[in-house]
Structure formats: structure tokens, C-alpha cells
Structure 1
Amino acid sequence: MKMKKLVALVSAVGMLAVAVTGCGNSSSDAASTSGSTSDSASASTSDSAWDSSMDITIVSREDGSGTRGAFIELFGIEEKDASGEKVDNTTTDAQITNSTSVMMTTVAGDEYAIGYVSLGSLDDSVKAVKIDGAEATAENVKSGAYKVSRPFNIVTKDGMDNEVANDFISYIMSTEGQAVVEENGYIAVDDVEAYAGSKPSGKCVVGGSSSVSPVMEKLVEAYKAVNTNADIELQTTDSTTGVTSTQDGSYDIGMASRELKDDETGVTSTVIATDGIAVVVNNDSDVDELTSDQVKSIYTGEALTWDEVLK
């Protein structure tokens, strides 16, 4: 009887050991399998190639943007209809962004996206493509090799008598002011002279184009260092608001990244710089160069996938 109990006990212990060992191996195998699956998924994700058969994510600016106005004109996306009216043929499938920074963020977050920004605002979060064989650089804009460019304008109401605004404009159009323009990647105006303003005290409101705003911010900083009596408020909106708010007196100086329209009267524009428009894609995109016609085909909705563009 004792011998049977002993045999039963030994058998039970052996079975328990086998069960524990089996559980341990199962857990280990599961962890190993899980690790392998995770590693495989990670490798698959990291090794995934850019696929030109994917749909193009088209990103454009809002109505009223001077950058959009210049872009659609320069690439022939804007055309005149039978009555002579200008028609913007940008596809309705385009995602609309309301500022340069949002445009950059949107393209940077989508590897199949295309957009456009001020050359002076370009950074390494996105990739500027060559257009018709020319790189988007300030040097190429100045030489005429890169033809996608437009003026940066300031707008003032006819008869404007704000002393600070007038003195600030004198600074912008001086040797010192144009040096700031050039330092920030834009094409400066020629034939300027050293600043010799009166440095008055008071307030000036400047507002408008989000493309002009970055260089204007630098100009404001530089001017305030020269004239500590000045209080300049900078508001970033869009070119159309820059013009209309100057017309109604809300802005002393408006900013517009385009020419004045025929119906925008009662104000005068002054070119303070020339800027290129960089066509940008995601850094992971295989696209490095496009023709003007290819850009137009994308933005009018004629080409829907990158394959159709690059064929």
C-alpha cells in the first residue's frame, strides 16, 4: 500500500513538472513568435517603397491667397472663359490650407502630397522639386532660370499720413532694409540708399499675406532696433485682406504677394522684394523634377496618380 502511494506521488510530481515545463516553453515560444512577428512588421514598414500608383494628394491655398493667385497664373491653371473672365481651374479634390505653415505641415505628413510655398519660407521638412530643369533658388529666380516667381508688395492707402508707417517704409526700401530681405532668401530691390529716417514715435499696423509675413517680421525687428520709439503690430491674414483692410483703414500698411487687381483702387503698391514659389513634395517622394505642364495637369485634376504624371 505504501509502495503504491509512493509510485502515485512520484507520478504526480513528474506530471506537474512536465506541465510546468510545457507552460514555460509555450510562453517562451509565444514571446519568440510575437517578437518575430513584430520585427517582421517593423522591417516590412521600414522597407516599404514609395508607390507611384498611389493617388496624388493635391494641396492648395485658400481663395484670397496671393500665393495661390500667382501660382495658378504662372502655371496656366487660371484661364479666361469665353466672356474674358478669369477662371481658376484648380480641381475641387484639392485639400485647402490657409497658411504657408499649414501647407508645409500637410505635405510633410503625406508622402504622396504636392503643394507650393514661398521660396523664402522653404525648409527641410519638405522637398522642392526642379521646375522645367531649374532648381528653386534665389540665384535662379534672380537670373531668370527659375521662372516661377512673383513680387512681394506693400500697400498703402492714398494720402496715408501715419509718420511711423512712412518712416518704416523708408527703412524697408533702404540699404539696411533690403539687406534684411536678401539675408532671408528673397531677391532685394536694386538702387536703394542708406536709411536716413526721422525715427518718429507712435503706432503702425501692418497686415496681410502669410507669405510676406516672415520677411516682414524680420524687417519689423530690424526697424525696432533702429527706432525704439516705434510700436508696430504685425497681423498675418492673406493678400486680399491685406489690400481691403488697407483700403478701409484697418491696416496702415498691407502685405500682398501679388499685383493689385484692377478693382483694388484707392491704394498704391510698392515692390519690396521678389520671391520664388517652390513646388514641394514629401521628403520620401521619388519625384525630384516636374515640368510646368505636369504641375498644371495635377492641379487641374487631369492626372490623378503619380504614374499618370511620370509616364
Structure 2
Amino acid sequence: MKLKKVIAVAGVCAMVTGMIAGCGNNSSDTSSDSSSDSKTEASSDWDASNDISVVSREDGSGTRGAFIELFGIEEKNGDEKVDNTTDEAQITNSTSVMLTTVAGDDYAIGYVSLGALDDSVKAVKIDGAEATADNVKSGDYKVSRPFNIATKEGSESELAKDFISFILSKEGQAVVAENGYISDDNAEPFSGSNPSGKIVVGGSSSVSPLMEKLIEAYKENNPDAEIELQTTDSTTGMTSAIDGTYDIGMASRELKDTELSEGLKAQVIATDGIAVIVNKNNTIDELSSDQVKSIYTGETLTWDEVAK
């Protein structure tokens, strides 16, 4: 990656007694102009001829699974699905690491849950639509997926059942909406039994921030409940719900047939968009779905190939 330019401005003032004041004023003006020029230089220093730094998520991530499916990066080969993400991609193991990685690399591209998006990075438009909750809800922004929770059918404790009822209630769905996700507008008011006990909820790092808020809200109604939250990934969330390690598993994708065949029962608790993100210094504001696919399969290597 090319080094940024540094511009030095030097001025020499004649040591003439009668011009000291004037020289001081000119020095101040030059300093101001120099500062302005430096800002202009910094904002225009991003170079589209540089290589694209492709950043993806780890195997087992529900966000990765949904992303590669939605953009056609995953393709069927007979009965198998093949992930064609370029081998050059840098792999991150959580939403937070994805954000810091893209924020720290001028030429990076990545993807995160829309609800996790912050101002450390820039979300680009996809096919002309901005990544917003309203656009996901209207269908204008099509890069979206469900947030699922899953339990082993027949093994749910009273506390797990009550907590799930809260999540799906009007009060729980209000928490979903408050945190930037798409909620169920037709949810009924909560009428729980407030059972005591302990449950473990675990899985997707994308669902985890929302789940944390839901746990906090539920415990305001039921302070005797103990709910432990473990952040791993969607696949671990499902396998741990199957083997009983988690009472409730979290997945930021649809459940697989193999998971359902093991007795898991899934419930959608929210709909989330996937924001395609770039560094804030990147001058590109919009990409097409085909361009995103081309970048992630390694066909497009430099930013000037997609720059307009």
C-alpha cells in the first residue's frame, strides 16, 4: 500500500526590524493555508489503483453463510454447496473484529449486521439502495436475513419458554426495533409467569448484542431469572442447542436441514440487513451485487475496476 504524501511548507522572513509584525501576520496566514491544503491532500489521497483488501468471516459464521448465499458467492455443485470466497480474504472471527479491521485499512471491504453498524466505517449502497432498517422492511434493500433462536424440542425449561415468550411479545419486539432491527408489528403484549432458574443462551456474534438487550429487558420483569449469554457462532449455537450445552441457540441464518433433523425448533426473533462496509476514506459510495460477488470471488482485484 502506498505511503501517504507529507507536504512541508517553509517560509523565510527577512530580518528587518520594521517588518517583524508583518512577517508574523504572513506566517499565520501561511500556516492557515498550509493546514487547509493538508486537509485537501488527505481527503484526495485515497488511490483507487490499490489492491482491494477482502475481509470475510470465519467458517461457521451465520453472517458469512447468509452473505455468500445472498450474493451468489456460494454455488451448488451437485448436492454440495461450494463457497467461492477468494483464498486471499483475511478472516475475522467476530463482528467487532470485522469493524476494527475495515476501519484500520483504507482499502478494505467487509460486511456486518446492520444493527451492529457504527460510524467507524462506511456502508455502501447496494444496487442503489441504502442499508437501512426502513429499506430492509420495504424490500428496497434486499441483502437481509433472519435472526433465529432454536431449542431442542421437548427439552425447554419453564424459564426458557417464558424468556422466548418475552422475546416474541410486543415488549420484546420493541427492544428489537429500538436496536435497529426489523420487528414483528403484530406481536401481542407479554404475560409471563416469571419462573426462577438458570438458562444458557449462546451462538451467533451478530445476534448476541441484540440478545444482551433482550436479556436486560426481560430481567426487569423477572429479576429472579439467571440468563448466561455466550458468544460463539451460529453453527456452535445450533450444535450446542442439540447436545444440551445451550438451552437456547442463536443463529444469524436459516437453520440447515441437518440441524432441524436433530430435533431443533427455530423461531425468527428479528430480521436484519447485512451492510457491506468500506473504510471511511474510500471514495466509493455504491456497488452492485455483481461487483460485490466479483470482489469476493477474487475476479476484481483493485478498486479502480469498480470505481465510477
Structure 2-normalised TM-score? Answer: 0.86
8 Å CA contact retained: 2:43, 2:281: no
Residue identity in the other structure for 1:103: M
Which residues of structure 1 form unaligned runs of 5+?
Answer: 1-35
Say which SS state the counterpart of residue 310 (structure 1) adopts: coil
Compute the RMSD of aligned alpha carbons: 1.6
Say which SS state the counterpart of residue 306 (structure 2) adopts: helix
8 Å CA contact retained: 2:61, 2:234: yes
1:31 corresponds to which residue? Answer: none
Q: Specify whether residues 224 and 90 from structure 1 end up closer, same or farther in structure 2 by C-alpha distance, changes over 3 A only.
A: same
How many angstroms apart in 2 are the aligned matches of 1:217 and 1:286? 35
| Aligned mate of 1:113, from 91, 102, 108 | 108
8 Å CA contact retained: 2:147, 2:271: yes
1:23 corresponds to which residue? Answer: none
| Aligned mate of 1:66, from 62, 67, 70 | 62
TM-superposed deviation, 1:49: 1.1
Establish whether residue 275 from structure 1 lines up as the match of residue 239 from structure 2. no
Residue identity in the other structure for 1:96: I
How many angstroms apart in 1 are the aligned matches of 2:156 and 2:230? 20
Identical pairs, percent? 75
Map of 1:128-207 to 2, 5 A cutoff? 128-207=123-202
| Aligned mate of 1:247, from 242, 246, 262 | 242
| Aligned mate of 1:209, from 204, 209, 232 | 204
2:11 corresponds to which residue? Answer: none
Residue identity in the other structure for 1:287: I
Say which SS state the counterpart of residue 129 (structure 2) adopts: coil
TM-superposed deviation, 1:191: 2.2
Deviations 1:167-209 (A, max 9, x none): 1001001000000000000000242111101001100100000
1:306 corresponds to which residue? Answer: 303
How many angstroms apart in 1 are the aligned matches of 2:185 and 2:44? 49
Which residues of structure 2 form unaligned runs of 5+?
Answer: 1-30
TM-superposed deviation, 1:161: 3.1
* Deviates most, 155-164 or 134-143: 155-164
Structure 1-normalised TM-score? Answer: 0.85
Structure of larger gyration radius: 1
8 Å CA contact retained: 1:298, 1:309: no
TM-superposed deviation, 1:246: 0.2
Map of 1:26-37 to 2, 5 A cutoff? none
Q: Specify whether residues 105 and 197 from structure 1 end up closer, same or farther in structure 2 by C-alpha distance, changes over 3 A only.
A: same
How many angstroms apart in 2 are the aligned matches of 1:122 and 1:47? 23
- Deviating beyond 2 angstroms after TM superposition, the runs of 4 or more aligned structure 1 residues are 42-48
